[in-house]
Amino acid sequence: MNTNGGPARPVNRPDQTRADQTHPGQTRASGAGDLYRAVWRWHFYAGLLVLPFMITLAISGSLYLYRADIDRWWHADLLTVPAQDSAPLRPTALVASALDAVPGIAVKYTDPPFADASAEITVATEAGRMAVYVNPFNGLVLGAMPDRTTLMWTVRKLHSFKYFGPYARYLIEIAAGWSVLLVLTGIYLWWPRGQRGGVVSIRGTAARRVFWRDTHAVTGIFVGGFIVFLAVTGMPWSGVWGAKVNEWANGNNFGYPDGVRVNVPMPQQRLDGIAKTSWTLEQARIPETPRIPDAAAPATLDQAVARIETLGLHPGYSVALPTSASGVYSASVYPDDLARQRVVHLDQYTVQPLLDMSYGDYGPMGRALEWGINTHMGQTYGMANRLVLTVACAAIVLLAVSAAVMWWKRRPHGALGVPPLPADARVFRGLIAILAIGGIVFPLVGASLLVMLALDWLQRRMSRGSRMAPLV
């Protein structure tokens, strides 16, 4: 009997898959068949929950891999200028031009990352922060727009779900956790068990369901490792787990320990509040100028930039300007090369470094997380990194589409098509125990698991002819 509420299927139908054949009439051992059904059922639930998000994440993520090139093309009038042999103007002159066009308070200066790139001045206005783009060779203001609203910043917010508000980011943690479940259960379902076709080859034509089953299975086994990698390295952006791990790492010498170079006063201001930074340093506190010399005049931005240049920061660095008498010049840069990530805080009067920190100074957890994030964003290994992840993202979309087509072809009329329950529902015990461990490590995943268990119980209760059986 088909427990999905649809008509029974013939056992030896040519395009039938193992999943269709796991019913009591088969020669498969009862215990193995029950476990197969249980895993298949939760693979279905994981896909139902995750695949819509995976399509969005794959498409937006593949675009963001090429963020610099796309932004420079889309915003060419703001971000690019004709390269010249002459020396660029001093930063203070560029800031003055920006303030003439957009009155307010200059809070950040961003060095042109390329010879044909504009300088970016961030200005705080009554209406919010504005990014003002200035030709570094003649001081001409090219235009302005709200800060962090370029095309690729919008894609980044969409990818991280920030675009939909703070609570939507919690979905990242849920989607990532269930993605891992999807891969693990998928590997179990794919395992050959003596089958030859549909393991690394695709049978049939697009008109037959077996074609889509094989496409889904073969694509999944090749891309599964990438899904797990992207899910795990994407966890730092999650709303609960990511925030707590970041906070813990920064307070236990794993991310950004206080006084790496010297023990300087630290207020509550965080680096992420003033400049784009790496995930590990988002909660890093900004040092204060230790003391204010009597009658001393603050150093100019030109002096601070000159000092930064002598320290050898990678082009494209940002300098957050001090906003109080005890503030500091905070320079930071995050190029593709992890070894050249750098954060430097300068005394605003003497421009002496109060803290100079690079990737090598991060704690072990910070280095591991930053490597994962950098690779997740397609930076660590250059173009090869981006191309491999682009192929993986395309495969993830194919995986989701093939799953939808396969489900559509097998669903009973008028029913959701949830895979049948095993004859002995006690096989769920081990599976749920494994899921519970993941739920403890990732709290939101655990909460969503409880919701899915409740929905599964409700679905079984409402299914016609279903026999209530305890899961545990």
Give the DSSP per-residue string, 428-451. Answer: HHHHHHHHHHHHHHSHHHHHHHHH
- Calpha distance 112→128 (Å, rounded): 23
SS3 content of the chain, % helix, strand, coil (to 5): 50, 10, 40
457 or 205, which is more confident: 205
- 81 lies in the same domain as 145: yes
Mean pLDDT (whole number) for 414-443: 76
For the cut 80, the answer to whether the pLDDT of residue 462 exceeds it is no
- Calpha distance 359→367 (Å, rounded): 7
- 50 lies in the same domain as 196: yes
Asked if the structure places residue 5 within a domain, the reply is: no
Instruction: Quickly state the pLDDT bin for 99 (edges 50, 70, 90).
Output: very high
Mark residue 139 as left, alpha or beta (left: phi above 0; alpha: psi -120 to 50; beta: remaining): left
- 168 lies in the same domain as 58: yes
- Which of 41-50, 54-63, 460-469 is modeled with the greatest confidence? 54-63
- Calpha distance 339→324 (Å, rounded): 32
Mean pLDDT (whole number) for 182-204: 88
Single-letter amino acid, residue 373: I
For the cut 80, the answer to whether the pLDDT of residue 139 exceeds it is yes
pLDDT tens string 289-332: 766 666 678 999 999 999 999 999 999 999 999 988 888 899 99
How does the average pLDDT of the chain come out, rounded? 82
Provide the domain count of the chain.
3
- 228 lies in the same domain as 166: yes
Q: For the sheet containing 318-320, what is the strand order? A: 141-146, 128-134, 119-125, 105-110, 318-320, 328-333, 342-347, 353-358
- Dihedral through CA 192, CA 194, CA 197, CA 198, nearest 10? -10
Mean pLDDT (whole number) for 222-229: 96
pLDDT tens string 249-294: 665 555 544 443 334 444 445 455 455 555 455 555 566 776 666 6
In eight-state DSSP terms, residue 285 is: B
- 341 lies in the same domain as 449: no
Query: What pLDDT was estimated at residue 259?
Result: 44
- 171 lies in the same domain as 132: no
Beta strand 119-125 pairing with 353-358: unpaired
Q: Which of 77, 204, 197, 52 is nearest to 140 (CA)?
A: 77
- From 116, 149, 182, give the residue that closes a domain: 149
- From 117, 149, 181, give the residue that closes a domain: 149
pLDDT tens string 167-189: 777 888 888 888 988 999 999 99
Domain that holds residue 109: 76-149
